[in-house]
Structure 1
Amino acid sequence: MEIRVDGMTCSHCEKTVADGLSRVPGIGGVTADAATGRVGFHLDGPVQRQSIENVITEAGFVLGVWPDRNP
């Protein structure tokens, strides 16, 4: 799954987002790229969109594009 996260500008931002999402049960293999604003991960179980959005916003970023399918 791939989402867009607006506001990432550096490797610290990437690590903050990746570490936060990695702590959400059911999410694994997180990669973040500040240059493109893309965050990729795979789902190991059911995950609510709100859980993902909470991690992103609490880290100070904005959830951008969300894929048509729900996790």
Structure 2
Amino acid sequence: MSSVEITTEYAVTGMSCGHCETSVREEVGKIAPVKRIDVSAATGRLTVTAETPVDDAAVLAAVDEAGYQAVRI
């Protein structure tokens, strides 16, 4: 049986380097169902992939904890 993946995308402001990406990746990675995290300071995008829906509030709080702001797009 194949699993379905749910991808959610966010716009993140304030990131400017690889360290910023790592900070966001580490905080968002603490959220339970998250399977894959793609984050780019160059595009200001965060893509979260999971097998079940991820709580937007949890992602936004994790990005905030890393020191940045995000909105779902």
Normalised to the residue count of structure 2, the TM-score between the two structures is 0.80
C-alpha offsets along residues 3-34 of structure 1, whole Å, 9 cap, x if unaligned?
Answer: 11101110000011011111100112101100
Structure 1 position 52 matched with structure 2 position 59 = yes
| Structure 1 outlier segments of 4+, above 4 Å | none
Higher strand share: 2
Normalised to the residue count of structure 1, the TM-score between the two structures is 0.82
1:2 to 1:46, Cα distance in 2 relative to 1, 3 A:
closer
2:27–2:65 Cα contact (<8 Å) kept: no
Flag the structure with larger Rg: 2
| More moved, 39-48 vs 3-12 | 39-48
User: Percent of counterpart pairs with the same letter?
Assistant: 29
CA RMSD after TM alignment: 1.2
Unaligned runs of 5+ in 2: 1-7
Partners in 1 of 2:47 and 2:57 — Cα distance? 17
Unaligned runs of 5+ in 1: none
